[in-house]
Structure 1
């Protein structure tokens, strides 16, 4: 019985570590890019840019994983940078929602 319980607990842990972090995007989609810079303030961006869209991501994972997911998504939509605007509490208070802007540099 204990072995079965440990097996179930291990499977649950494995499944939760591979959780899909859903990203919601509203905006333009451009040709994919190969790299995306991550910022925490638009004041830190040293390029001229335009905002091409807005992203939200549920923060189920650690901060580095969320940044990686946002960066990967940004590449697919053609962003040159992502500015993380902050977090909002989810309705169930168990996870936060990360909000961000997708930027396209206009001075390159």
Structure 2
């Protein structure tokens, strides 16, 4: 699973799972909720909102790409020092904060 943060969007996050399912979210908290569901179930078969056009690997509008290990590292970093947690921007910060708060 990968998380992509678009350069041009203040709050938009794109979640890509196994290069089969992709969805762009305007709400990082909803992206975090879906990420959590995927972590628990390991499948997206009954999910709506697949946007296969987002699976283009040549897309250069992404400024941040995080895989599952990066996300887990960011969650640990946020939990250890939420005040000084450094993120790319508001979208990534809100996504990680939402996941971290659910892990506490």
Higher CA-based Rg:
1
**TM-score normalised by the shorter chain: which range applies?**
under 0.3
Task: Calculate the TM-score normalised by the size of structure 2.
Answer: 0.25
Q: TM-score, normalised by structure 1?
A: 0.24
Pick the structure with more helix per residue: 2
Q: Which has the higher strand share?
A: 1
